[in-house]
Amino acid sequence: MIISYEWLTQYVDAGDPADAAARLTMAGLEVEAVRNPCAALTAVTVAKIAAIAPHPKGGALRLATLETGGAPVTVVCAAQNIAVDDLVPYLRPGTVTARGRAVAEAVIHGVASPGLLASGEDLGLEEASTGIFILPKGLTPGAALADALGKDAAVMDVNVTPNR
């Protein structure tokens, strides 16, 4: 069972995540791991989709113009689940996906794409994804995704023992 440390602190004074894990273990629950799923997202940027246009070569590809806190960036994307004003995770060239794939600038059918929009699978937040991971409204374009989602968002993997 996965328990959010933030959720736990709404009910009890749990100390820091390591202390909370030790206290839960002493109470009879087996805490197998304490991890932060957002820790790997420090290189991911929150981007707002400013415009979407069809790729000049046609097909299913589209050009998404992003607001990232600086100059607008246009990336090539095949996902159909995005719309103007959506907030999405943007991986700049040089970052690495959760599956270990290095992101590089690419030229796709004659159009340069500096980075990519990330799926939940790319971020390590989902096992399998069917499109771009849409972020909640209210995040600031250009912010690091880890900061926006809560870089201290620890979760505990708790094994409930059979006698409990």
d(CA 137, CA 140): 9
What angle (nearest 5°) sits at the alpha carbon of residue 35, between those of residues 88 and 148? 30
Look at the pTM and tell me if it is higher than 0.85: no
Percent of the chain with pLDDT over 90: 43
pLDDT digits (tens, 9 = 90+) for 11-62: 888 788 888 888 888 888 888 888 876 666 668 899 999 999 999 987 889 9
Largest Cα span, the chain = 63
117-156 pLDDT per residue, tens: 999 888 877 788 889 999 999 999 999 888 777 666 788 8
pLDDT digits (tens, 9 = 90+) for 48-88: 999 999 999 878 899 999 999 889 999 999 999 999 999 99
The answer to whether residues 68 and 148 touch, using CB atoms and an 8 Å cutoff, is no
